[in-house]
Structure 1
């Protein structure tokens, strides 16, 4: 069993943490992930630092926060033209490429700013007039030498891909469910990588980025739907913070059977990947990670989708397996999105090559049975970044500890707004206790300021928070 492993990193879009069968939160069937969890460290408190697609993905790749990596908003033609993961940013994949790894990327990327030609090729313009899907030039691929990807194509039933060095005009269109097709490609990649690993001792790192269970929800194959159709919506949406009788609850009730069906379908595909690792004798030599970029509200708090600081949107699955090196079990380690890049480098023996600009914490020492050199201790909290009421303004910051969550909104020209949730007494965040627990607000705000300082966050509300703390100390 090698001390220098391979990596299989699987990310599914919009898969909330509770949607794993073994957790018993959502009534969803995930037998493959249940089995993987039995031999994984399951991080029950892993969070999406900014729970929307492009910003989270940029943090996962770069280990930098949005104000550093160039992706403060979703990448589409309606955002500023310079929004996109900068080619000069050193990602964990760049480090592995330099170290001689074979690198593969399959599926959704969504980190490239669209150009005019992207309105013609690929997905084209959507009904809202925006171009979301974009071709990624080879020099923008951050070390991935095998490329089978799209920018952001939401046609799961008939996806398309740019393959290898094909130009923007040469798009491969496929008549197959995207998750199944991408797994077919990944299976072939893993078998070839296994041969090269045996013959040349060349390690590999494969990212498989599924778009489902992201909407459109009706693009899921019929064979998965029957397991959830016809069930009482209140049985599917069991969280007590679902606001029944609202339009959001009605929309969520329609979406839930299909959302869960897509999850079960993706789980089946993940089972195929794990079977290949077993067949090729690679299970013991490969770190397997499963996670998501963000969750989904599904009717909780009167909301359906994401990009809000509630647990349904912010908390994500995070399973990491490396038999003999990572002890299985549940762990409340507070891992945020930027921590993933540095932690992967630590697990893969590349901590010494970590780019200086990488801001995330290397938590590999908290995961490895034997520990790790010079890795971070257990974090006290995880940062939240999000939009306020105005479009394209990141007015909100928050902090999630193991016991509380503080959300602070700083609308321009107005006083700060605080919300505090006691996650122990109120795990569904139904009651704002900021007025009842001022000491917790103050102590958490102090910790928030330290995190903002650590990350160099330019948030204008930072000064207001500090002024409040000073005023409180003089009372």
Structure 2
């Protein structure tokens, strides 16, 4: 299917603009927010990297993927080239996003799991708490994965709130339903999808009309492709069909779809129409020379389904943006598109995330502010704790940023391009899963050290696919000293236990 035909399949002409102004736009007020972050989508998986002003910007090849809606969004956004995940796994990213704090302070160091105690603190004001207190109607749709997983369900996976009978059951090892209260962080409209099964999500909602009249906490199993299901909910919320939001207030919508997260093994895991028309039988999807080893054949088999999910998200986002335009709110809505971490898909013989390699560590990030952004590139190494204060700044709520926030507000600089009063960070640090690894990324190098002192170094300028491991003695001494000093600085700034213990102080240069 050609790009023009794909656009037509969405109900759009090839020259359609999803994000343009509307002559009947609502009376101006505080900007709305549409924040979209699919799970496990890598930076390279967007088609515009092979087009126009964006072509050749990344130091490596991008993926041959169809994303016409994201391509259009890029034309009206600030497009980041070096946004990172910090801790490339679901729960830590989401907790940093919501709290603006590093893992050691927000309560989530590892993935929330039934065998762990990690949980986003209830006693801090998070992203959506601030928005709700500022007068926003708040809506959350999709995956959360920031709450402690407890056996508070009956055998039918309905929430009962007790661990003794009829409770004592989990609904999923890696995620759980969040009941009404502080765990939802002031999201008025709640439509939560649990479990990494794209066509059979476990749904819990406080909107009975969306779940066949079921009560909040009673499981709903629609057995639909979750991005389509969730897009329908977001569209209904935008249209305000049942008065589910106060139309006199600005709204914030956070949409967190599970795909393209695994599984990605067959068309049962993706939008099968997209797969059959765009990716089935297509070769050369994995164009990165670092896809090697015994997993290469498996990666080539899985790639069409992974990219079908990427295009599936693009397709549903197109539907949402079309309704946003029709509602008259498009030119008063800030749109943010990002992801919690990337996907290796065979690079370095790996799948998934949890590693410092570019495919997992770097994430897509685009911010569209109508009338203020237009297809510009930004090389800021922005981290998850920076997202909350930066977006609040863009919304004009900088005076409401909680004192607990540890990230930085880059809103003025991102819009103006003027970095005279606030300099860009020279690196972004990496937290390895289960506290075993630390590292950082600079404009040129990627460096990692584990708890035993074993080190890994790549020169991303001369080796952008990170195929040749170096030693610190292989690079100029000044560069090595800078890397080790920056790492020590980040460990201190983030409140890392390594700093308190002065771990590996014979190598790391602590302040």
Tell me if both proteins adopt one fold, taking TM over 0.5 as the criterion. yes
User: Once structures 1 and 2 are overlaid, which stretch shifts more, 440-449 or 168-177?
Assistant: 168-177
Tell me the CA shift for residue 423 of structure 1.
1.3
Structure 1 segments, 4+ long, off by >6 Å, are: 193-198
Q: Distance in 1 between matches of 2:457 and 2:486?
A: 14
Tell me the CA shift for residue 213 of structure 1.
0.8
In structure 2, the residue matched to 1:287 is: 334
> Normalising by the residue count of structure 2, what TM-score does the alignment of the two structures yield?
0.83
In structure 1, the residue matched to 2:274 is: 224
Distance 1:470 1:270, change over 3 A: closer
Aligned partners of 1:12 and 1:211 also within 8 Å: yes
**What is the number of residues matched between the two proteins?**
450
Q: Distance in 2 between matches of 1:251 and 1:431?
A: 23
Q: Distance in 2 between matches of 1:199 and 1:305?
A: 41
Tell me the CA shift for residue 329 of structure 1.
1.2
Aligned partners of 1:123 and 1:153 also within 8 Å: no
Aligned partners of 1:19 and 1:26 also within 8 Å: yes
Report the secondary structure of 1:341's partner residue.
helix
> Normalising by the residue count of structure 1, what TM-score does the alignment of the two structures yield?
0.89
Report the secondary structure of 1:236's partner residue.
coil
Distance 1:21 1:470, change over 3 A: closer
Aligned partners of 1:325 and 1:370 also within 8 Å: no
- In the alignment, is residue 60 of structure 1 matched against residue 89 of structure 2? no
In structure 1, the residue matched to 2:177 is: 135
Report the secondary structure of 2:377's partner residue.
strand
In structure 1, the residue matched to 2:44 is: 18
Aligned partners of 1:251 and 1:304 also within 8 Å: no
- In the alignment, is residue 43 of structure 1 matched against residue 74 of structure 2? no
Q: Distance in 2 between matches of 1:194 and 1:39?
A: 32
Report the secondary structure of 2:313's partner residue.
helix
In structure 2, the residue matched to 1:147 is: 190
Q: Distance in 2 between matches of 1:96 and 1:122?
A: 31
Tell me the CA shift for residue 262 of structure 1.
1.0
**Among residues 450, 461, 470, which one is paired with 2:489 in the alignment?**
450
Q: Distance in 2 between matches of 1:51 and 1:328?
A: 27
Q: Distance in 2 between matches of 1:335 and 1:366?
A: 12
The alignment's C-alpha RMSD in Å is: 2.7
After superposition, residues 144-183 of structure 1 pair within 5 angstroms as 144-150=187-193, 152-164=194-206, 169-183=217-231
After superposition, residues 82-161 of structure 1 pair within 5 angstroms as 82-118=117-153, 120-122=155-157, 131-139=173-181, 140-150=183-193, 152-161=194-203
CA-to-aligned-CA distance 1:45-82 (integer Å, 9 cap, x gap): 10101000111111111111111111111111122xx3
Tell me the CA shift for residue 345 of structure 1.
1.2
- In the alignment, is residue 437 of structure 1 matched against residue 475 of structure 2? yes
Aligned partners of 2:86 and 2:93 also within 8 Å: yes
In structure 2, the residue matched to 1:271 is: 318
Tell me the CA shift for residue 328 of structure 1.
2.6
Distance 1:131 1:168, change over 3 A: farther
Q: Distance in 2 between matches of 1:378 and 1:443?
A: 16
Distance 1:352 1:59, change over 3 A: same
Tell me the CA shift for residue 287 of structure 1.
0.5
**Among residues 435, 444, 463, which one is paired with 1:394 in the alignment?**
435
Distance 1:370 1:330, change over 3 A: closer
**Among residues 345, 354, 369, which one is paired with 2:392 in the alignment?**
345
Aligned partners of 2:487 and 2:509 also within 8 Å: no
Report the secondary structure of 1:113's partner residue.
coil
In structure 2, the residue matched to 1:390 is: none
Aligned partners of 1:364 and 1:371 also within 8 Å: no
Tell me the CA shift for residue 444 of structure 1.
1.0
Distance 1:122 1:224, change over 3 A: farther
Report the secondary structure of 1:467's partner residue.
coil
User: Once structures 1 and 2 are overlaid, which stretch shifts more, 281-290 or 218-227?
Assistant: 218-227
Q: Distance in 1 between matches of 2:186 and 2:438?
A: 32
CA-to-aligned-CA distance 1:192-215 (integer Å, 9 cap, x gap): 299999952x11110011001111
Distance 1:114 1:407, change over 3 A: same
Distance 1:330 1:379, change over 3 A: same
CA-to-aligned-CA distance 1:102-133 (integer Å, 9 cap, x gap): 00000111112222134735499xxx996223
